Structure 1
């Protein structure tokens, strides 16, 4: 069925029923099909993620502490149970969580009652003069509390960094002023004590890969609908240090992208420290007493704010860290000790990617002592933090995810497993990839496989996706090392399939900025661009060409191009408009112009056309699309959007006609300029863009990240009809 729709006919009805002005949507979050499935297969182990904010209040406490409590009282999809659980957790926090400004009141309560239960961060040290262990309570502000050796043997992390605990504190006053009146009645760390791994893997089989990835993203606390596939994988790479022993990870990028969140809030097995607040005794071993440092007790040690060219660094620390990252061991005098803590380095960049590539390298922000090829070669993966969106309120999830101490225990339990060979039945790494490069690729691949496919079942395509992602992360490290140390041998990163076919792997920034990424080409000085005049691998024309208003150039590219997810520098002005200059009749076929962001894409396409046309000319733009299938209200909203675009286009001399058809699937643009453009995703190529006036990506398409898509340009005779 095909019908012509005159948007002007429905305008009056839309205005009369108030659709155009002030229509509101139900703000109550509804449980999705995925949420229902999560609760069905992981009942009692998941929690609605927005509840953490609801109960936290002013408590300065990690999310895993709050989710531990919510998991005890509100791990349900029954609204009454959830509300009762929230009330219970709020009461527990109000009665037992120690606020620092109320510590004296809590101490008074303990004294008057004789015993009182508190929630606080507890750290323990050995008093070797009196031969006893003594605890210090962070918020309560008391120290010297005697702790039994059995407690330390059961919970050794109390000795390094401290642990959030639920404790019973007793008060007994002694005439001897040297005796501390505070005594520890009981202590229970806030983390899961045990779980059933077989049940976890059995339940995993009930989810598709896409569903499982979305469950993990919701467990981290984000709304998966606002993330593309690549963006989700980047988030999940941050979990690899928890599931993989001795994994060395670096992430550099702009401020506010949540780089340190995972390591401070997600797991009781990770320790986040400031880059300038660590010493050799604290991190590795104290020679004076022989006590092992953080690497001996924590699964992950993360360095926050690690970047800073002029930061002072301890040369001895850098040297011992190099050895540990390479050999999983460190020396104390004549004795060599081993540990399995993963090392994570996160820091902020002050320049964008093309600037760093043009003037130095992507490790430019690191302190000088760490801007060293030998140290950098120990890194297994480089997360491109510049691809991660700045955290916004709408990005947080209202759906269900694992209680974080549950998933933290799952990840910890898999540190003994090795999935690094799971690709070898399908693929073989390139022969000139070095042993150290292979180790980095293998550890990332193994970690992602354990996170995504803990049941050991993955298709060849899924294995290939994971392998390519692991190779890219190590390639990003190695390519930057080559800039620092020219004596390093270049490596062809890629893999062979079973038929002997070679599959090269590139980084996204390599495809976006080839003239800056490859030093040899840049050194030759030419503004080396592709045949269309733009630097990226998928662009079709420069922005300058798109606004010049000149006739179609014969050198316009004909053929197919692919764009990677998260790529920037793409716009309608460079990708489409050069092929449409001079056209007076254009037909856009796109079945998905239904939602607001899709209508905005159409409006921006009209704006791009208007920017290059002669004001005295008119352009007939025909849109063939489909009617929304989500009910009458969504259809009405869709027609409202289209009407607004039509009215706006008329001002620029562009006549928009709309045809609704239920038989179209392909997406394309055909114009009497002589070009047909086959659009893989239609106009919907951009990832989520906010309406923030102060977000440059909301105004200029080139600063947006795109979804993965392809586009094909076909030159046709200008006499060929377009309808």
Structure 2
């Protein structure tokens, strides 16, 4: 299996030893950065020089609390400092001034500037998305009181190198899937997200874990997972992909989530693949009515309007929570422990599917990957690219048959989830002729129906309207 993995993916394979080594854990790097560093320093046997890795991380990946020292080096020592981080650029419409923020260090746009000559050189890379990862060179623009208007001192960007060290070939990824059996491919996917396939008892356990990846590769897929503690929810949604956002439980505001009218800056949902709200039981809102209105509209259409700002995004909303073991039963009311906003049927109806987190084993050393596996950064980049491929949904639309007069939200939810499964497990499918109907039904359609059925059962408990005949779950089948 490892030989085949090397043969098919070559440079995109790294040796991960999360079971035996705590070195990278101590560095506190997200998986996509860890694998990028591993690839940079590993030899053909998967060995690396710990001192060299430590020096690189210390130089280019400083912690937030080191920002004051960096600022001193820039402003008073007149140094040029390079760091690997994410950057968000903004253009002031009134003045034409270009500024940037460094979210991981709390650096705001008002403190920074990108001068025209530098902007001209790097604008193509910096405007590809709302936030971009890269090696950023920082310097200092001195203040000048002798001119009018006077020039204030600001941190300036003097250079930029895009983080991605390669071009992911999506067509190759699709084609190479045919070299593996379904069982082998499932194990490869688990290794790509840092899990040891041999640590699971059954294929069902493996698939339950992989269900968490569906919002990574399908646009505006809204999911809810309720689970016991210790199953790795936060790790998957907050550690694997640079394209997603995990926000901790606490106070969620309209400004933080969608648009800040005072700062004129978009919130979490803009420019990201998904927003996962962790510890959803503990979430509070400044204005529940306002958030209900905006959230329902966004989850339905992917758009919102705040103070005249028209926002649009393809980010899915993922709600993550722990509930009492006694309440982990799809036939009982599971939402009673959640905030009132997430007990309202109109919003719950816009959640496409439910992940039964109790089917996912709790994290243990035996589930940590130890061996050759796909580079997490490469893998999540491919998942991100698959979001734009509409051919899979066209295939699902063609081969899935739905009983008459089906409630449209049920149909859309099932088809959206089935499409995500198809992309994840069978990316080599290019047309309906490539689809094995029996396998598609087993791995894609049936799980999608079951995920939506749980939402419908909970809706029926929350609101008697959903017991009406016109809201019943339709019948889904695969056309011959």
Where on the TM-score scale, by shorter chain, does this alignment land: which range? 0.7 to 0.9
TM-superposition CA deviations, 1:59-103 (whole Å, max 9, x none): 3432212222223333x6x21xx3246654333113332134544
Distance 2:26 2:49 in 1: 19
TM-score by length of 1: 0.57
- The answer to whether the aligner puts 1:344 opposite 2:318 as a matched pair is yes
Deviating more after overlay: 140-149 vs 58-67: 140-149
The residue aligned with 2:411 is 438
Name stretches of at least 5 consecutive residues in structure 1 with no aligned partner: 1-33, 500-723
Distance 2:234 2:79 in 1: 40
The answer to whether the aligner puts 1:328 opposite 2:283 as a matched pair is no
CA distance in 1, matches of 2:84, 2:62: 6
* Contact 2:129/2:271, CA 8 A, preserved across alignment: no
Structure 1 residue 341, shift from structure 2 partner? 1.4
Relative to the length of structure 2, the TM-score reads 0.84
Q: Which residue of structure 2 aligns with residue 83 of structure 1?
A: 47
Specify the alignment match of 2:24 in structure 1.
Answer: 56
**Residue-by-residue CA offset, 1:102-159 (whole Å, 9 max, x unaligned):** 4455455556573232234545566778653434546767661312555566435886
Q: Any conservation in 2 of the 1:309–1:365 contact (CA below 8 Å)?
A: no
2:226 partner SS: strand
Matched, 1:43 2:16: no
Moved more, 469-478 or 169-178: 169-178
* 1:165 maps to which of 120, 134, 137: 134
Residue 471 of structure 1 aligns with which residue?
Answer: 449
Structure with bigger gyration radius: 1
Change (3 A) 1:487 1:175: closer
CA contact (8 A) 1:55 1:89 kept: no
Q: How does 1:232-311 map to 2 (within 5 A)?
A: 232-287=206-261, 291-308=265-282
Higher relative contact order, structure no. (Cα contacts within 8 Å, ≥ 6 residues apart): 2
Aligned length: 458
Q: In 2, are the aligned partners of 1:380 and 1:474 still within 8 Å (CA)?
A: yes
**1:459 equivalenced with 2:436 (yes/no):** yes
What displacement does 1:401 show? 2.4
The whole-number CA distance in structure 1 between the counterparts of 2:104 and 2:409 is 45
For 2:232 and 2:402, the matched residues in 1 are separated by 33
Aligned to 2:327: 353
Question: Does residue 1:132 correspond to 2:97, yes or no?
Answer: yes
Structure 2 CA distance for partners of 1:86 and 1:439, relative to 1, 3 Å: farther
Over aligned residue pairs, what C-alpha RMSD do you find?
A: 3.3
Tell me, what secondary structure is at the counterpart of 1:91?
Answer: helix
Return the alpha-carbon distance in structure 1 between the equivalents of residues 105 and 206 of structure 2: 40
Aligned counterparts of 1:284 and 1:438: Cα–Cα separation in 2: 27
Tell me, what secondary structure is at the counterpart of 1:250?
strand
1:155 aligned onto 2:126 = yes
Could you give the per-residue CA deviations for residues 315-334 of structure 1, whole angstroms, max 9, x where no partner exists? 21111111111122223467
**Which one of 82, 86, 92 corresponds to residue 117 of structure 1?**
82
**Which ranges in structure 2 are unaligned for 5 or more consecutive residues?**
none
Distance 1:329 1:109 in 2: 43
Distance 1:378 1:368 in 2: 15
Give me the whole-angstrom Cα distance separating, in 2, the residues matched to 1:124 and 1:336. Answer: 19
Which of 441, 465, 468 aligns to 1:487? It is: 465
Q: Determine which of 62, 81, 84 is the counterpart of 1:98.
A: 62
Aligned partner of 1:384 in structure 2 is: 356
Partner of 1:525: none
**Counterparts in 2 of 1:277 and 1:63: CA distance versus 1, 3 Å:** farther
CA 1:356–1:285: 2 relative to 1, 3 Å: same
The Cα shift of 1:175 comes to: 6.5
C-alpha distance in 2 between matches for 1:278 and 1:231: 33
Q: Deviations over 1:505-535 (max 9, x none)?
A: xxxxxxxxxxxxxxxxxxxxxxxxxxxxxxx
Q: Report if the CA contact (8 A) 1:420-1:446 is conserved.
A: yes
- Counterpart-to-counterpart distance in 2, 1:450 and 1:279: 33
Q: Which has the higher helix share?
A: 2
CA-CA distance at 1:51 after TM superposition: 6.2
Tell me the residue number matched to 2:365.
Answer: 393
Deviation at 1:308, TM superposition (A): 4.2
**2:345 matches 1:373:** yes
Does residue 1:221 correspond to 2:194, yes or no? yes
1:407 corresponds in structure 2 to: 379
Determine helix, strand or coil for the equivalent of 1:330: strand
Contact 1:145-1:182 at 8 Å conserved across structures: yes
CA distance in 1, matches of 2:298, 2:422: 25
Compute the displacement of 1:383 (Å). 0.2
How many angstroms apart in 2 are the aligned matches of 1:484 and 1:40? 52
Equivalent residue runs for 1:306-321 within 5 Å: 306-308=280-282, 314-321=288-295
Cα deviation, residue 432, structure 1: 5.7
Q: Cα deviation per residue 1:609-665 (whole Å; 9 max; x = unaligned)? A: xxxxxxxxxxxxxxxxxxxxxxxxxxxxxxxxxxxxxxxxxxxxxxxxxxxxxxxxx
Closer/same/farther in 2, CA of residues 85 and 157 from structure 1, 3 Å limit: farther
Flag the 1:214–1:316 CA change in 2: closer, same or farther, 3 A.
same
How far is the alpha carbon of 1:284 from its aligned partner?
2.7
